Structure 1
């Protein structure tokens, strides 16, 4: 039974192909009525992640064919449901990971993918820790299993995932060395990390000076040739977590090849008799067991949102733009001049 038969008009930002940020299109369409188990979510906040920056170049590992609506995650309010059983969801605010589709005024989401947002957390703040928070939490606690007193390296400590990872690590009693450009070093210090300039050709030597006995974990979103340097920073028993291939984002060619190369290299390192561990973090790993995947996601995001509500995490908001200015939001995120996450909010009525 459809709870709300009123048609919903959605404004969507469309990525039509390999275009510059200014080449995004806008379309308006009527959403289909939500099916059983679906809801209509009014977007209150979405964001620009590194995934969208890769997608517009056709470089994200398993992106859909053009054209499509980008938007990896969203925070919004349920306005309609596909069944009477879900009617209590209407008017409540939730977060969801969508992978695509978030850059829209309204969208259809499976009710099982919704994670409640605490009342004391506003939509923009919550948006900064949806995919970023889940990624950081799972890498730190589920994969590397870093303990209090450990020392880790976070590449790109000023970014969306990086800044969240630094905060989660510091909350857990972990010492953090974070790389960023020199202009972002005060920001990285404020997060609680020791900054190192990623543009310094001696960056890895500098990290070794700070941690001469090696580090317990390295979180590397860059990939490419530098992955070997990250591996070399680890002490015996340490863990390298690779979660991106930013070094190759501007290269032409197959979008899957850089990831496959990284995965192969990490697998080889895992067979070396040095006690180190290497992992490639895939957000969507385990989705074939959908209920278990959803359960982990819900559990981890709930933990992160609670830390945000309690003040243990501070939302890192680089800037906010209305949906109509999504092109400007994407351009700013790609400029590498900001710290934190660029957030897109619903257009004013």
Structure 2
């Protein structure tokens, strides 16, 4: 059988959307008819050879998605999919059975497809690391991103006060719709002054760079900083005296390092929360598989609110 797939043929080159042979599933594999695939920064890093550079090339990329097996909806994530073996940016794919998680009733496939990264990261950073309660005052940096906007929705529904930060004034009303009590528009230079009124007890930081130092300065005594990305820069200067004098805690989330069973548990919880309307995930842009390289560019430019998904139903 043939499948149309987005293939990495050489690191640093655009992906090629082409027809390839689909192998027959082994005893511990299953063939899935794909519907949607999530697009994440790590997919771009894999295409560039910055992540999993030693994995087979050519191969199909795409590490998370949703589709049908025998007419039943499943999320696909983990167990090497898109990293050490062919991924799911294809009309059909062969994946390990262990990479499948049933989609709960009431959850649309398009939303389920992007929960493996954004949903799990939001759920685990808020509940496992940040341990947010209704008494917390939360600041979410980069709040219009796929994970940031999901965190805003989850924190809001937990009953905590949540402010979102964005560099684009056009995101203000959109973030309010996700649950933000207030939106701080601006860059790192005036961040501390702008959030002084909030005195956040928890800050979620996907940006890194100079934002991390500013987040530390903004935190209330005994506050928690949760870092899960460095899209604004992989290094920065932090005020060490503030950390120990204010008894701050700095917590890092590296989901890609977690074993599959830990990630699966988080995915089950996140999907359940989505089905029960305890969080929401926004797919801000859906593109056809043929536009996969455009999707990767949009990721690089951070040009989309929420998540980007590929429609894999027609190739």
- Length-normalised TM-score, structure 1: 0.78
Number of equivalent positions: 305
Give, in angstroms, the shift of residue 345 of structure 1.
1.3
Q: Identify the residue that residue 301 of structure 1 maps to in structure 2.
A: 267
Take 1:274 and 1:201, find their aligned partners in 2: how far apart are those partners? 21
Counterparts of residues 177-192 of structure 1 (less than 5 Å): 177-180=163-166, 181-192=168-179
Take 1:18 and 1:215, find their aligned partners in 2: how far apart are those partners? 41
In structure 2, stretches of 5+ residues that fail to align are none
Are the structure 2 counterparts of residues 53 and 206 from structure 1 closer, same or farther at C-alpha, using a change threshold of 3 Å? farther
Take 2:230 and 2:125, find their aligned partners in 1: how far apart are those partners? 16
Residue 52, structure 1, aligned to residue 43, structure 2: yes
**SS at structure 1 position matched to 2:12:** coil
Q: Identify the residue that residue 134 of structure 2 maps to in structure 1.
A: 148
**SS at structure 1 position matched to 2:187:** coil
Which of 131-140 and 39-48 deviates more? Answer: 39-48
Give, in angstroms, the shift of residue 334 of structure 1.
3.6
Q: Identify the residue that residue 74 of structure 2 maps to in structure 1.
A: 94
Take 2:178 and 2:35, find their aligned partners in 1: how far apart are those partners? 27
- Length-normalised TM-score, structure 2: 0.86
Take 1:55 and 1:196, find their aligned partners in 2: how far apart are those partners? 33
Take 2:73 and 2:304, find their aligned partners in 1: how far apart are those partners? 28
Q: Identify the residue that residue 205 of structure 2 maps to in structure 1.
A: 220
Q: Identify the residue that residue 87 of structure 1 maps to in structure 2.
A: none
Is the Cα contact below 8 Å between 2:213 and 2:238 reproduced in 1? no
Are the structure 2 counterparts of residues 155 and 59 from structure 1 closer, same or farther at C-alpha, using a change threshold of 3 Å? farther
Take 2:186 and 2:250, find their aligned partners in 1: how far apart are those partners? 22
Which of 272-281 and 42-51 deviates more? Answer: 272-281
Give, in angstroms, the shift of residue 68 of structure 1.
4.0
Q: CA RMSD in A?
A: 2.7
Match of 1:168 among 154, 161, 164: 154
Is the Cα contact below 8 Å between 2:34 and 2:313 reproduced in 1? no
Q: Identify the residue that residue 318 of structure 1 maps to in structure 2.
A: 284
Match of 2:257 among 272, 282, 285: 285
Take 1:54 and 1:270, find their aligned partners in 2: how far apart are those partners? 34
Q: Identify the residue that residue 66 of structure 2 maps to in structure 1.
A: 75
Are the structure 2 counterparts of residues 202 and 59 from structure 1 closer, same or farther at C-alpha, using a change threshold of 3 Å? farther
Q: Identify the residue that residue 194 of structure 2 maps to in structure 1.
A: 206
Are the structure 2 counterparts of residues 54 and 286 from structure 1 closer, same or farther at C-alpha, using a change threshold of 3 Å? closer
**SS at structure 2 position matched to 1:306:** helix
Cα-to-partner distance string for 1:276-327 (whole Å, 9 max, x where unaligned): 111221103342xxxxx41x33332223223322334344121212212212
Give, in angstroms, the shift of residue 271 of structure 1.
8.4
